[in-house]
Structure 1
Amino acid sequence: MPTTTRPSRGVLLACAVVLAGCRTDATVPGPDPGAVGPAATVPATTSSAAPATPAPASTATDTPAPVTTVTTPPPSPTAGPTPAPVDTPTARAVTLPEPGARFEYQIGGPDAPADDTVVVVRDSTAAPTGRYDVCYVNGFQTQPSETDRLLRTEPELVLHHAGEPVRDDGWPDEVLYDLTRADLRARVLERVGKVVDGCAAAGFDAVEVDNLDSYTRSLGLIAPADTLAYVALLVERAHAAGLAFAQKNTAELTTEVRALGADLVVAEECREWEECDVYTSVYPVVLDVEYDRASFDAACAEQSDAVTRLPGLTVVLRDRDVSPRSAPGSVHAAC
């Protein structure tokens, strides 16, 4: 489900989603008419999974956001024999929005973006806007609508403890994928990868894969190394589809995830938790969502001061249900 913050860090928004779609948070190229400069090459993947059915085409007439072509850093080589050459598909160019570009966080439901909005994060089931669009994907846990079926048909892909599936305490209708073995990670990737491919087919520019921090809820069964091995597969899959890959939260793994080729960050409450500088120290673009007015105001004040300003950081204030503007209690603010 689209989420804002996981347990002990904030809130999520639950909404039904089909596996063939992507969440509303992600930014990637694809057919991006706003791209500038020659296309950059990113590592290709050997995956041959068919893309999911694309979301409905957007009817937006806004001018696409300015983007910058980037070259993603390759994963660090590992020791061992040199593999034989293989044919791999050519990856599409990956682009990023300009650092500091205005963005909107719309995973709770689509809205017409404000005129000065450059980046829009939406659920995979929503259509992209034609600006710089980021697609939200729940990649480390099941969607509520998929949990029961997966437990019936492929229970081995779900992490178990004492014979019971390991659930997210904050969202008990979501269970954790089992990422403890390479063969399981590959099978989970094929499920989630179809959603990623669907984001690309729909015309999104990037993908934000949520619940990177699921290992902290795994009762110690999933190690950080397991998580990072899976992230490497996700980054490769996204880049092969022409999508930039956004790290979602989990500041403690920032250096490692960036080294695997991640391109930007979608963070929640990084000012509240004093983590924004962790992200901006290694990423060129950091999109931060605050849910507390005082934290948002503090972040805006800091960003308006040349001494305290963090390069590449953009901050918005949202209600904890990330509701559309027409909903009661909806909050949308930017600085």
Structure 2
Amino acid sequence: MTRRAALAPVRAAAALALIASVAVAVAACASEPAPPHPPPSAVPADYQLGGAYPPDPRVGIVARDRSAAPVDGVYSICYLNAFQTQPGERDEWPDDLVLRQDGADVMDPDWPDEALLDTRSDGARQAIAERVGEWIDGCAAAGYDAVEFDNLDTYTRSDDLLRADDNLALATLLVERAHRAGLAAGQKNAAEDAERLRAEAGFDFAVVEECAYYDECAAYTDVYGDAVVAIEYTDAIDRPFDDLCADPAMPASLVLRDRDLTTPGDADYAFEICPR
């Protein structure tokens, strides 16, 4: 038998093995969601947490609450209150997942109907991530492109009961779940933690409120570049909105809204985007 003939069965077996491995890889890829992508750069945005409505035709990014449907043909961000309870939903959370002190829930001082979640143990973080994970999967099934996780910074208003590292650990679980669902993950506020949240938790972009008013926009743009959606409010801007739009230090996707994020037709409704 020649050397070539002797190698033929080996090569045949190797070829079959290669074909099998390729088939497995193709099947795996077919079952995995497309890799998530952050919001498009420098595109006008609208922030519609107070109620869904048809966006201005110039708008290319819209954020809505998880209870609302996304906008067809527009990059859509699904809002999740992931580190404290949503108003009216406290009873849906077991007591062992809610931060408590002296037998009472620890509430957000600015949102007294929202209780902080307890991120201090790995077991609690896993349980919280599983519950929020169901919302994440729901956002993906509805057709959203991304999720934003609000109240990452609950440790700053927890009477020192919570630690930044514990919230970061939960954030990492949530980002991983979002990515498995094919959704980009957005950091919400928490300017002081932006670098760690991007590097360690894996966030893809940021959604920020009042970074101009608090002079912290650079904390986000230095980390995320143009992948920052910024919201300013009419009751807390210290210069004309046109001036903000002309300021190169401002995020490119900048929108001015009324504080309660009302819908068109409401007396308090306000919406402005930067001219393009």
Deviation at 1:331, TM superposition (A): 0.5
* Equivalent in 106, 110, 113 of residue 52 of structure 2: 110
**Within 1, Cα distance between the matches of 2:121 and 2:111?**
24
Asked whether the equivalents of residues 159 and 165 of structure 1 are also in contact (C-alpha less than 8 Å), the reply is yes
Deviation at 1:171, TM superposition (A): 1.9
| Structure number with higher helix proportion | 2
SS at the partner of 1:315?
A: strand
* Equivalent in 97, 100, 125 of residue 67 of structure 2: 125
Match of 2:97 in 1: 157
Asked whether the equivalents of residues 98 and 116 of structure 2 are also in contact (C-alpha less than 8 Å), the reply is yes
Q: Which has the higher contact order (CA 8 A, sep 6+)?
A: 1
SS at the partner of 2:223?
A: coil
Q: Does 1:287 pair with 2:229? A: yes
Give TM-score, length-normalised by structure 1.
0.68
Asked whether the equivalents of residues 241 and 256 of structure 2 are also in contact (C-alpha less than 8 Å), the reply is no
SS at the partner of 2:55?
A: coil
Q: For 1:253-264, what aligned pairs fall within 5 Å after superposition?
A: 253-259=193-199, 260-264=201-205
Deviations 1:209-266 (A, max 9, x none): 1111111111101100001011100110111111111110010100000112101111
Q: Does 1:270 pair with 2:211? A: yes
Match of 1:135 in 2: 78
The one-letter code matched in structure 1 to 2:220 is Y
* Equivalent in 38, 42, 63 of residue 96 of structure 1: 38
The one-letter code matched in structure 2 to 1:179 is T
SS at the partner of 1:143?
A: coil
Asked whether the equivalents of residues 39 and 205 of structure 2 are also in contact (C-alpha less than 8 Å), the reply is no
Deviations 1:4-59 (A, max 9, x none): xxxxxxxxxxxxxxxxxxxxxxxxxxxxxxxxxxxxxxxxxxxxxxxxxxxxxxxx
Give the gaps of 5 or more residues in structure 1: 1-88
Match of 1:66 in 2: none
Deviation at 1:301, TM superposition (A): 2.5
* Equivalent in 315, 322, 334 of residue 261 of structure 2: 322
Deviation at 1:300, TM superposition (A): 4.1
Q: Does 1:334 pair with 2:273? A: yes
Asked whether the equivalents of residues 303 and 310 of structure 1 are also in contact (C-alpha less than 8 Å), the reply is no
Give TM-score, length-normalised by structure 2.
0.82
SS at the partner of 2:38?
A: strand
Deviation at 1:334, TM superposition (A): 0.8
**Within 1, Cα distance between the matches of 2:85 and 2:205?**
24
**Within 2, Cα distance between the matches of 1:149 and 1:133?**
26
User: Judging changes above 3 Å, is the alpha-carbon distance between structure 1 residues 101 and 149 closer, same or farther for their aligned structure 2 residues?
Assistant: closer
- % identity of equivalent residues: 43
Give the gaps of 5 or more residues in structure 2: 1-30
Count, aligned residues: 241
Asked whether the equivalents of residues 157 and 177 of structure 1 are also in contact (C-alpha less than 8 Å), the reply is yes
Deviation at 1:172, TM superposition (A): 2.0
